[in-house]
Amino acid sequence: MSNYQESVSDLGSDASLFTRLSQTTARWAGKPQTFFLALAIIAIWALSGPFFGFNDTWQLVINTSTTIVTFLMVFIIQNSQNRDTCAMQIKLDELIVRLEGAREELLDLEELDEEKLEALRTEFERRAKRAREGQAPAADAIEGRRGF
């Protein structure tokens, strides 16, 4: 157990430059100030149209800029989602491991193909349906009191 705790505490902040950059960028991209800054840039670009005669270069500036930003943000967002998903999976795995009676074979479900995941989902739907049917009178009474 102490080896496990030591290995977790050793994780620290040795994140790669890309990870730190993507975390910072993702944090800033999600702020209202960033949205309003982008909106201001677009407004300035639009207002500069008459000065540049709405020419092709004027249009190319915004098209190229937004394409580059969008292209780069796809990788930043994907990196953030991958890290968040991985962290959530690890936390869920920890709960499953610690929960007595849990089925540990479910720990790596994210690695299964779609067919196997669908089969497990169907199994859990059947179990939920059986549980609801077995508890129907009590559930109806509770739902009646809540006004559902």
- 4-42 tens-digit pLDDT: 555 455 555 678 888 888 889 989 998 999 999 999 999
pLDDT band at 112; cut points 50, 70, 90: confident
Cβ atoms of residues 61 and 42 within 8 Å: no
- pTM score > 0.85 for this model? no
- 56-103 tens-digit pLDDT: 999 999 999 999 999 999 999 999 899 999 899 889 888 888 888 888
Q: Give the list of residues 6+ apart from residue 121 with CB closer than 8 angstroms, or none.
A: none
Q: Is the dihedral of CA 61, 67, 70, 74 positive or negative?
A: negative
